[in-house]
Amino acid sequence: MKKFNLFKEIIIVSKSDFLRAVNSAKRFAIAYNGEIHYEPLPHTLISIYEGSVAPLSPLSTDLSRPIASMIGDNYRIVEDDDRLLIKASGAWQSIIGYNQKRSLYDDTSGDGIAEFSDKPLEDIGWHATEFNIGYRDIVEQFEAQCEGILLCIEQEEPYQFSGLGFVFDVEHARQIGFDYCAATIKDKLENDEDFTTLTDDEAEAAEFFKAV
């Protein structure tokens, strides 16, 4: 997975496409890769902005408004010939709201990852906890082995991280997650004396992963 850190990344958008969307008075979205989408928005969308821009009031004394203010003060927009360069980190709380339901996992609370939005992966994560395998352990496998985007804000000093994870091939992620948990549980059953005798829940989890 690629880390897309909004503190560092600049989203490049076609100026003409942006103005067309603004002037349409329709709700639209700007994706992390600079593409503009209109409703109905694709379920695979990873957006940095969603909304519509209200037309100027007939009573306004201004005949136009600067592009930099069109989608709100939390975005920094620089015009560069026929392109717009957008910095979106200031809008992170809104971006979480746009994307939370479409993400595979949510690591924005500071309390860690609590669930997967995909039901088969959630079953894997839920059973794995019986053997002290956390969601973060599984996610590390996704981030190392899957194609996808970790949309986030991250800085070193002082350390700050908040992110949403998206994988492009959920079937592949399911296999990666299952194989990792199955191998880890088999190792624990063979080498960890804490699992010499299994509880009913542990036995059910071991059977789920075909580890016994």
Q: What is the pLDDT of residues 97-115, one digit of tens each?
A: 999 999 999 999 888 999 9
How many domains is the chain partitioned into structurally?
2
Task: Order the strands of the 160-167 sheet from edge to edge.
Answer: 2-5, 148-155, 160-167, 105-107
| pLDDT of 57 strictly over 80 | no
Residues 6+ apart with CB under 8 A from 125: 115, 116, 135, 138, 177
Q: Within this chain, do residues 108 and 93 fall inside the same structural domain, yes or no?
A: no
Q: Is residue 32 part of a domain?
A: yes
Q: Is residue 60 part of a domain?
A: yes
The model's confidence at residue 211, banded by pLDDT at 50, 70 and 90, is confident
Q: Is residue 1 part of a domain?
A: no
Q: Within this chain, do residues 49 and 122 fall inside the same structural domain, yes or no?
A: no
Cα atoms found within 13 Å of the Cα of residue 138, Cβ hemisphere only: 32
Q: Within this chain, do residues 45 and 16 fall inside the same structural domain, yes or no?
A: yes
Torsion of CA 192, 113, 45, 174, to 10 degrees: 20
12-25 per-residue burial string, b: 16 or more CB within 10 A, e: under 16: ebeeebbeebbeee
The model's confidence at residue 55, banded by pLDDT at 50, 70 and 90, is confident
Residue 134 CA to residue 209 CA, distance in Å, equals 15
| pLDDT of 167 strictly over 50 | yes
Single out the residue in 46, 73, 97 at which a domain terminates: 97
From the centroid of its chain, how far is CA 69? 26
pLDDT in tens, 180-200: 999 999 999 999 999 999 999
Q: Within this chain, do residues 158 and 119 fall inside the same structural domain, yes or no?
A: yes
Q: Within this chain, do residues 63 and 153 fall inside the same structural domain, yes or no?
A: no
Residue 85 CA to residue 76 CA, distance in Å, equals 8
| pLDDT of 64 strictly over 80 | no
* Structure tokens that stand for 125 in this block: 């994560």
| pLDDT of 166 strictly over 80 | yes
Q: Is residue 157 part of a domain?
A: yes
The model carries a pTM of 0.92
pLDDT at 60: 47
Q: Is residue 4 part of a domain?
A: no
The mean-pLDDT minimum among 52-61, 142-151, 155-164, 173-182 falls in: 52-61
| pLDDT of 62 strictly over 60 | no
| Residue 115 belongs to domain spanning | 104-208
pLDDT in tens, 76-101: 999 999 999 999 999 999 999 999 99
pLDDT at 190: 95
Q: Within this chain, do residues 44 and 61 fall inside the same structural domain, yes or no?
A: yes
Of 136, 138, 108, nearest to 121 by C-alpha is: 138
Of 13, 28, 151, nearest to 78 by C-alpha is: 13
Q: Within this chain, do residues 112 and 91 fall inside the same structural domain, yes or no?
A: no
pLDDT at 25: 87
Single out the residue in 97, 116, 142 at which a domain terminates: 97
| pLDDT of 17 strictly over 60 | yes
- Put residue 42 in one of left, alpha, beta given phi > 0 → left and psi -120 to 50 → alpha: beta
Q: Within this chain, do residues 65 and 131 fall inside the same structural domain, yes or no?
A: no
